[in-house]
Amino acid sequence: MKQDLFHAIADPTRRAILTLIALQALTPNAMAEKFDMSRQAVSKHIKVLQECELIKPVPAGREIYYHFNPMKMQEIDLWIAQFRKSWETQFDQLDQVLSTIQKQKK
């Protein structure tokens, strides 16, 4: 069963893994060293991230390095973009209200 992208990033450990490998591809053992959990627990998180294509395995000899897939993050950005215009409008309105209040105090 393919994992839901938003379910995958809902977990703080998986977000931390994404942050780590966005900077540098890592092996599961290297990732496990960064967390206070077993290699098996990290592997379960890796599996979820891989199933939703946020990370890609790249074999290198006897090791597998996991690389961040920035293209998959675009799906999240596109979903958020639909709300961005609304937020910007609300912030602009708040700026106007605050500016009016500051002018009235002078």
Q: Where are the domains of the chain?
A: 1-68, 71-106
Q: Which pTM value belongs to this model?
A: 0.76
- Residue 51 confidence (pLDDT) above 90: yes
Strand ranges inside 1-106, DSSP E: 55-60, 63-68
Whole-angstrom CA distances from 106 to 95, 96, 101 are: 17, 16, 9
pLDDT band at 1 (very low <50, low <70, confident <90, very high): low
Q: What topology is assigned to 1-68 in CATH?
A: Arc Repressor Mutant, subunit A (1.10.10)
pLDDT mean over 3-29: 93
pLDDT of residue 105: 81
- Residue 85 confidence (pLDDT) above 90: no
CA dist., res. 41 & res. 21, Å (int): 17
